[in-house]
């Protein structure tokens, strides 16, 4: 084949097939094989563009022998195009192990850039994009999800999450509890598709929108949360004794629990104590 021996990381459309690049089409056509997350899904793409390169299944749960077979083919001079179901491979998609081992063996790894839901959503969200943190998918279980969110509660960067329709309601509820109902959030769904939607609101408002319109629960989603902004100190000041109580409790408990218990002990509103605690953590 005419292309250089390498592992090509090829971005594919996330919805609109017109977003495929000419370079991606040429790479997929010239490669010896295409390693795909789901060959049945990717076959629709290759058939649409008349690409005849053989497809084989590869994902991060593939057994070690499959990874070694691909590395062996690369070592013998073949070229492999790695694709995911949609978007850029390795961005919450498979491929890390193969790329890492290929580089360790001195095999060229070449990115073929293109569509990426993370970048597309953030570019149109209207939230600060000079500094952001991509967090991928949150843990499915409540404890793991809350632990991850609490670690991000005072992060000043824009936070970006991927989420699926069957977990979006629970995830938004958890975010509202940890980040506060008044934090700004943008929900992007069905990006590049016919029903592409961007909803910009507070968590409280967004939850109402989702409850009122079942259509907003459909499609793959990107959730973007405005970073933490420290509250004004003048009306958030606490008496020294209350501050001491909070500091003692925060040393032993998560912020949310510390604020709830301190509220019972002092009679001060839980939200005020929670905001004060977040401000201290951010210092």
Q: Encode the chain (283 residues) as per-residue pLDDT tens digits.
A: 445 899 999 999 999 999 999 999 999 999 999 999 999 999 999 999 999 999 999 986 767 888 999 999 999 999 999 999 999 999 888 788 999 999 999 999 999 999 999 999 999 999 999 999 999 999 999 999 999 999 999 999 999 999 999 999 999 999 999 999 999 999 999 999 999 999 999 999 999 999 999 889 999 999 999 999 876 554 457 888 899 999 999 999 988 899 999 999 988 988 889 888 888 877 6
250 occurs within a structural domain = yes
pLDDT value of position 1: 40
Q: What is the token pair recorded at 29?
A: 């056509």
Determine the pLDDT at residue 234.
45
149-182: buried (b, 16+ CB within 10 Å) or exposed (e) per residue? bbebbbbebbbbbbbeeeebeebbebbbebbbee
231 inside domain: no
Task: Name the residue range of residue 24's domain.
Answer: 7-115
Q: What is the CA radius of gyration of the chain?
A: 23
Helices and strands, counts by H and E, the chain: 11, 10
Give the integer Cα–Cα distance in Å for 212 and 276. Answer: 33
CB 169 within 8 A of CB 210: yes
CA atoms of 107 and 176, how far apart (whole Å): 46
Do residues 21 and 64 share a domain?
A: yes
236 vs 150, 228, 249, 266, CA distance in Å?
20, 16, 18, 15
| Number of domains forming the structure of the chain | 3
Tokens 């295409």 identify what position? 34
75 inside domain: yes
Please give the pLDDT value at position 168.
95
What is the C-alpha to C-alpha distance for residues 39 and 29, in angstroms, rounded to an integer?
Answer: 16
Beta strands 109-112 and 7-10: pairing type? parallel
Whether residues 259 and 219 fall in one domain: no
CATH number of the domain to which 191 belongs: 3.30.950.10
Are 151 and 209 within one domain?
Answer: yes
Q: Which of 76, 95, 115 is the last residue of a domain?
A: 115
For position 231, what pLDDT does the model report? Answer: 65
What CA–CA distances, in Å, run from 94 to 52, 53, 84, 98, 111? 23, 20, 7, 9, 14
The whole-angstrom separation of Cα 34 and Cα 79 is 9
CB within 8 Å of 45: residues ≥ 6 apart:
12, 13, 17, 51, 83
The pTM for the full model equals 0.81
With tokens 């083919």, the residue in question is 73
């Amino acid at each position: 084949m005419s292309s250089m021996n390498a592992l090509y990381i090829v971005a594919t459309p996330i919805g609109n097939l017109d977003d495929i690049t000419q370079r991606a089409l040429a790479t997929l056509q010239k490669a010896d094989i295409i390693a795909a997350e789901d060959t049945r899904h990717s076959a629709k793409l290759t058939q649409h563009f008349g690409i005849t390169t053989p497809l084989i299944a590869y994902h991060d749960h593939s057994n070690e022998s499959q990874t070694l077979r691909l590395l062996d083919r690369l070592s013998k001079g073949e070229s492999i195009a790695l694709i995911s179901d949609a978007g850029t491979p390795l961005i919450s998609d498979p491929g890390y192990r193969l790329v890492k081992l290929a580089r360790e063996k001195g095999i060229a790894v070449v990115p073929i850039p293109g569509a990426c839901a993370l970048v597309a959503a953030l570019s149109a969200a209207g939230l600060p994009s000079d500094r952001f943190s991509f967090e991928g998918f949150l843990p499915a279980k409540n404890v793991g999800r809350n632990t991850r969110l609490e670690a991000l509660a005072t992060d000043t960067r824009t936070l970006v999450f991927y989420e699926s329709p069957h977990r979006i309601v629970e995830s938004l509820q958890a975010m509202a509890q940890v980040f506060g109902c008044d934090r700004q959030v943008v929900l992007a769904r069905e990006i590049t598709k016919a029903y592409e939607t961007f909803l910009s609101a507070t968590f409280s408002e967004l939850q109402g929108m989702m409850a009122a319109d079942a259509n907003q629960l459909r499609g793959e989603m990107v959730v973007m949360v405005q970073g933490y902004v420290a509250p004004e100190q003048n009306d958030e000041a606490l008496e020294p004794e209350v501050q001491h109580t909070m500091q003692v409790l925060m040393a032993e408990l998560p912020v949310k629990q510390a604020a709830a218990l301190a509220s019972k002990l002092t009679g001060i509103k839980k939200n005020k104590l929670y905001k004060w605690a977040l401000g201290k953590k951010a210092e």
